[in-house]
Structure 1
Amino acid sequence: MTPTRPGFGALLAGTAILAAPALAQDGMNTTSLQHEIVLDGLENPWDMAFLDDGTMLFTEKCKGLSVRMPDGTVTPLYGVGETEGYPASGSDLFCEGQGGMMGVAFDPDFADNRRIYVYASSEMSDPHTNRLMRFTLNDDFTEVSDRTDIVDDIPYKMEASDHPFGGPGAHNGGRVRFGPEGALWLTTGDNHNEEIPQSPTMMGSKVLRMDTDGAAHADNTPPDGFDPRTYTFGHRNVQGIAFHPETGQTIVAEHGPWHSDEITVLVNGGNGGWDPRSNMAGRGDCPDDYCGYMPNQNEGMNRYERAAFMPMTDFATYPDAMPPVWENNGWSQGTSSAAFLEGEGWGEWDGAMVVGIMGIGFGGTPIGQRIDVVEFYDDDGTLMVEDVTEMTLPMESGRFRSLVLGPEGSLYAAVDEGQIHKLTPAR
């Protein structure tokens, strides 16, 4: 077992030990990978979902939902707004900034009910919202119908003037997944709104667990006064969620501000500890009361000092917050999607988690675009990180927006540059 060391967050907060290596290690890369470009010429592909026969749903943020059949045939299904080439579209759906069509999932009982789920930005109300929509997909995979908005109240950032950082449509979360128990999970973001993360009723900055009608899962245990759909709260912008193949535990990957991407094993009812309000943990006033990027990169602080001033997980204010099991050594590089590798072909990585790094450095500089392999071990019922290895890729890196394990055991990677790649371990 590779020794681990406390993360910097523990050293600063003094209240929790984060047993995690800080960056991808130099350990041996145990697999050689075969590479295939499955789809090219896409426009910001955002997410994918598979059936056992290889049928793949995929979304393009500003275009819409399509399906790729096992023979390679691609059929558009549902467009964003006035996008051409789709047999149906949502006139209320739109694309702006980070908003648009995002996560997608097949119902576990798809063979019987033909249901699929898509998360997208909608201007049906003012202010706009993000919505989780349910559709019925016909037998020949050419049309969707019966749109039902089962979640319609995920906040959306309307104006750049809402605060001095970022633009409209920022921080929507957006990953849709079904857990091993059959529940429907949705991740959301903070919209650069200081009130959202710790709010009991505003449904940004949350991980939601629901049934397929959008109602709260019966086993959720949020704090008193919280919306019952809340599984965890106090997040910044979760775009990665995966479930440990042996324990079933829910693990999220989360974007940091100008420091500290994090991976966290969730606890039912837990607080992620993100609270960018002014005057929290000894901070003073911040521009428009949002401290999420303070102090900025021009004020001479290194990444550790920034993390002390505006921690991703604020143990000083919330000593019982969920401690991350990994943090990116004080860097914010766009840790996005997450999935678990499964199958003998992956060798020592069978059962390890992969996370996509989109490679965002200070000021938006591309840096560190990669896939990291995170190996866990069970320490008396607590998942801990044993090792983190950068995957050696037989392709050029890109902004890894989505990682999904296909039914045959290959890893599919959607990159913002417009491709969906297939990575298969050599047999």
Structure 2
Amino acid sequence: MMVCIRRLFLLLGMIATPAIASPTISVLTDSLEHPWGLAFLPEGDVLVTERPGRLQRIELATGRQTIIPGTPTVSASGQGGLLDIALHPNFADNRWVYLTWAGHCETGTATHLGRGRLVGNALEDFETLFVATPCVDSGRHFGSRIVFDTNGYLFMTTGDRGERDRAQDLTDHNGAVLRLNDNGSIPSDNPFVDDPRGADAIYSYGHRNPQGVAIYPDTGALWIHEHGPRGGDEINLPVPGGNFGWPKVTYGREYWGPQIGEESIPGMVDPIYQWTPSIAPSGMAFYRGDLFVGALVQTHLAHLELNGETVTQETQLLSELNRRIRAIAQGPDNLLYLLTDQRNGELLRLSP
């Protein structure tokens, strides 16, 4: 199944002479149930999480799918379920696969982090590494994306669970970016380790529901984006101990209209970019110096041209496909791969 998208010709930098064919979108599979995250194996296959709780291994050459057993039990209700996936930086040696999920706990549900070893086509020795507490009786705003930085630290995003004041509570892991060692322990230089006001795992706070993370190749810095309410989706650059304002600072409004907070408050960190009206961003990846962000509500791929930390131009792509784009990643073939969030979810490859 192919769809020609001629305007991606310039976007993907694949034009050298008029003789080169137009880029296409290849549908590698359309039988995924609400896929959420993807990670490429060194062997060339890709692991894809499905929100109901399955982990699929997909052969890129054939689209063949294999269910990987050994995943945790998830709470697949509301916005919860099996969420993001990342490989350990030394995966080729240790085979650690990291997952986040919405899981049950004493007083409700919480965003969990765990890992298991991929041995053949199974996860073995799976263990829970971290639980974002407190548990909340809510099915909303779990986050959650994970990424390793160039120093081997793991960053994990959590949402405010639909209870916005949690994002300003430094004793609460919800509505935050968390920074952990690869075994789930707390780095000794986290900003609140020696500060009794805050939880040791918190790196930055005041976030609503971050569902995109990526490491900027030029600097190694962490970039995230997060959902606003009615408008005010944001791209933020987390800094140690930084307060990103939600709900005191936001460009978004209540769904019934009134203003929520200020657009800027001294001492709180402003976004480098925001969308109003909301696009409902999910997934992000840097590609050839630009940033790509999936949109769920406005069903397109946002292409953001950058000059350092400044967005200079935005282009909407793939709107004609009318797909909720959940995740984006660059594959081992240096092409972009997308997941579409639907009951018959797709793994798409953009190629020349």
In which range does the TM-score fall when normalised by the shorter chain? 0.7 to 0.9
> Counterparts of 1:47 and 1:126 in 2: how far apart (Å)?
27
> Counterparts of 1:257 and 1:220 in 2: how far apart (Å)?
29
Per the alignment, residue 161 of structure 2 pairs with 191
Q: Does 2:24 match 1:34? A: yes
> Counterparts of 2:126 and 2:175 in 1: how far apart (Å)?
25
Per the alignment, residue 264 of structure 2 pairs with 315
- Show CA shifts across 1:55-84 (max 9, x none): 211100013112224554422113xxxxxx
Higher RCO, Cα 8 Å, sep 6+: 1
Supply the AA of the counterpart residue of 2:220: G
- What are the residue-to-residue correspondences of 1:148-297 with 2, within 5 Å? 148-155=127-134, 157-158=136-137, 168-222=138-192, 224=195, 225-275=197-247, 295-297=254-256
- Partners of 1:275 and 1:314 within 8 A in 2: no
Per the alignment, residue 68 of structure 1 pairs with 58
Per the alignment, residue 57 of structure 1 pairs with 47
Give the aligned length: 332
- Show CA shifts across 1:332-359 (max 9, x none): 2211111111xxxxxxxx2111001111
Cα distance change on mapping 1:295 and 1:244 into 2, 3 Å = closer
Query: Normalising to structure 2: TM-score of the pair?
Result: 0.87
Supply the AA of the counterpart residue of 1:423: L
Per the alignment, residue 89 of structure 2 pairs with 108
Larger radius of gyration: 1
Q: CA deviation at 1:101?
A: 0.3
Q: Which stretches in structure 2 are left out of the alignment for 5+ residues?
A: 1-6, 13-21
- Partners of 1:53 and 1:407 within 8 A in 2: no
- Show CA shifts across 1:22-54 (max 9, x none): xxxx9x954453211122111100110112332
- Partners of 1:205 and 1:233 within 8 A in 2: yes
- Partners of 2:133 and 2:174 within 8 A in 1: yes
> Counterparts of 1:34 and 1:233 in 2: how far apart (Å)?
40
| Alignment root-mean-square deviation, CA | 2.6
Q: CA deviation at 1:110?
A: 1.1
Q: CA deviation at 1:391?
A: 2.6
Q: CA deviation at 1:157?
A: 4.3
Per the alignment, residue 17 of structure 2 pairs with none
- Partner of 2:93: helix, strand, or coil? helix
Q: CA deviation at 1:296?
A: 4.0
- Partners of 1:273 and 1:314 within 8 A in 2: no
> Counterparts of 2:68 and 2:171 in 1: how far apart (Å)?
33
- Partners of 2:156 and 2:177 within 8 A in 1: yes
Q: Which stretches in structure 1 are left out of the alignment for 5+ residues?
A: 1-25, 79-87, 159-167, 282-290, 342-349, 360-367
Cα distance change on mapping 1:89 and 1:371 into 2, 3 Å = closer
Supply the AA of the counterpart residue of 1:176: I
Per the alignment, residue 385 of structure 1 pairs with 311
Q: Which has the higher strand share?
A: 2
Identical positions, percent = 29
Q: Does 2:291 match 1:353? A: yes
Q: CA deviation at 1:422?
A: 0.7
